[in-house]
Amino acid sequence: MRGAYAGELAAVGVAVGVAVLVAVGFALSPAFAWASDEPGALPRPAARQACQSVSRWTCEVAHALGRGVNLGNALDAPREGDWGLRLEPELLDRASRHFQTVRLPVRWSNHASADAQARLDEGFARRVDAVIDRLLAGGGFVILDMHHYKQLTGGPRHPNEFAVDPAVAEARLVNLWRQIAARYRDRPPRLLFELLNEPEGEARDALGDVSGLASRDRSGAAFGAASAATSTAAPARALGGVRWNRLAARALAAVRETNPERVVLIGPDDWNHPRGLIRLRLPPDRHLIVAIHSYDPFDFTHQGVPWRQPVLPLGRPCCDAAQRQTLREALDTATAWSRTTGVPLHLGEFGAYREAPMESRAAYARMVREEAEARGIGWAWWEFASDFSPVWDAGKGQWVEPLRRALGIVLSP
């Protein structure tokens, strides 16, 4: 199986700057090896992550993920289009053409039966099929992410999201993955699974505020105003520590029934922040990558977001030495954990809300990119074309500059 996976990756020519693995039968092109379109810039060799606990294939995938982007606020909305974005073919093609990896957040939980079996809605599943296949046709990696399973952790549900009995919420996650894995068992190995976005635990945000924690998916226009009037509260149920470790192991076992070697991403609690790694206990499995998220410095990246109360004041710049140190400490925590455990990392989300000063947003994007790449960690910007921090303006049909340049995205001639 490993040789087949390796050969398929070589055949599509995924462009990454990683080592040639003759032993498993493939060579990866260095064409996109941390490339930059800055004047005079040359590709530089990427650092290597610790991989002693994973397969050689998994290690190379971790390094091949490279520069990526999230297609957020579309299939992870309660219904596609609810948050102002639909994944049209042109949008999918542009994302897959310019990024090595596309992370695809999907709210499967709202498109399945409410009972423990969580039977998938076939119409919605076919829509996801079409998106995945279009992205895979671009030749890069796709991370299929279970996003916004609000019924699992409790708290306010989004408008158009139905209630689920807490007694069956965990079984639904396992059965959702059993169905999803079986559905995509024959897709190329460039399709990766991510078991759950941002397990919430009993975490606090970087400013020590529980109520301030919220995903970047919910835009002020699409969610913020509506949620106050129409969201339905449910008792909060912490998904962290032992509970998350046990549930992740069950979900992974369901995946392995049909996908014994597909690479799977599992993140820590505390919203996937490296702080949560101290509590993460991975199942014994040699095909895992650990997903981390960082929005450090938080008071910069989340200034002005309407769903955090109190709203953080606008006008805070980035990035001074103290702010860079905050980010470095988070990434250093992650890399130290990775060296100890031998499991590589992927930075699945970072971004800065659109109300922050643009010059500082670009400085932040460049800072995180450089710090991640210096550690050999692939990344995915949040997000491509919605309204938290888009790098593509779908309305105007143009790149958002200088964010595009700051992320090092090279435009085809």
Q: What's the pLDDT tens digit per position in 101-155?
A: 999 999 999 999 999 999 999 999 999 999 999 999 999 999 999 999 988 977 7
- Look up the domain containing 248 and give its range: 44-406
Q: Are strands 141-146 and 398-399 parallel, antiparallel or unpaired?
A: unpaired
Say if CB 137 and CB 187 are below 8 A apart: no
Please state, in angstroms and rounded to a whole number, the distance separating the CA atoms of residues 69 and 210.
27
Instruction: Please report whether residue 20 resides in a domain.
Output: no
Instruction: Please report whether residue 307 resides in a domain.
Output: yes
Q: In Å, how far are 129, 161, 192, 258, 276 from 182, measured between CA atoms? A: 13, 25, 13, 6, 30
Q: What's the CATH code of the domain at 171? A: 3.20.20.80
Instruction: Please report whether residue 24 resides in a domain.
Output: no
Mean pLDDT along residues 358-377: 98
* Lowest model confidence (mean pLDDT) among 79-88, 145-154, 371-380: 145-154
Q: Are strands 101-106 and 67-70 parallel, antiparallel or unpaired?
A: parallel
Please state, in angstroms and rounded to a whole number, the distance separating the CA atoms of residues 73 and 84.
8
Q: Is the pLDDT of residue 250 over 60?
A: yes
Which of 11 and 317 is assigned the larger pLDDT?
317
Instruction: Please report whether residue 13 resides in a domain.
Output: no
Q: Which two tokens stand for residue 270?
A: 């505390």
Q: What's the pLDDT tens digit per position in 300-313?
A: 999 999 988 899 99
- The chain-wide mean pLDDT, for the chain, equals 85
Instruction: Provide the domain count of the chain.
Output: 1
The enclosing H or E element of 397 equals none
Instruction: Please report whether residue 2 resides in a domain.
Output: no
pLDDT at 19: 41
pLDDT at 413: 57
pLDDT at 109: 96
Mean pLDDT along residues 62-83: 96
The enclosing H or E element of 103 equals strand 101-106
Instruction: Please report whether residue 254 resides in a domain.
Output: yes
Answering whether pTM is above 0.85, one says yes
pLDDT at 34: 43
Instruction: Please report whether residue 21 resides in a domain.
Output: no
Mean pLDDT along residues 221-241: 48
Other C-beta atoms closer than 10 Å to the C-beta of 64 total: 22
Mean pLDDT along residues 39-63: 79
Instruction: Please report whether residue 17 resides in a domain.
Output: no
